[in-house]
Amino acid sequence: MMKRRLIVLISVILVGMGAFGTSSVAKDVTMITKDELKAMLGNLELVIIDVRYDKHWMASDKKIKGAVREDYNDVKSWADKYHKNRLIVVYCA
């Protein structure tokens, strides 16, 4: 079980991977699988943030219920909105 204060970021370095072809992820970012995320759904401490490109988000019929939509280009404008003690999952796929 994860500690309450754990912040999980699924960040496939959105644009970084797509635009630069790198697969590096910051060493302090914990990656989880879709099954691990699925098991967390319903946790009141969980915040799921969808940071896909606008065109990909709009074209997709697959969205995680309850996910919050944020702009990947402007993390500084929204990062402080989320309490640091929440379990945060950021995804882009």
Domain boundaries, the chain: 14-91
pTM listed for this prediction: 0.68
Which CATH number, 2.115.10, 3.40.250, 3.30.70, 1.10.3470, labels domain 14-91? 3.40.250
Span 40-56, pLDDT tens digits: 999 999 999 999 998 99
12 vs 52: which has the higher pLDDT: 52
C-alpha 19/C-alpha 12 separation (Å) is 12
C-alpha 45/C-alpha 83 separation (Å) is 10
Q: Which strands, in side-by-side order, build the sheet including 46-50? A: 68-69, 46-50, 87-91
Nearest to 23 by CA among 10, 13, 8, 34: 13
Q: Determine the average pLDDT of the residues in 46-68.
A: 92
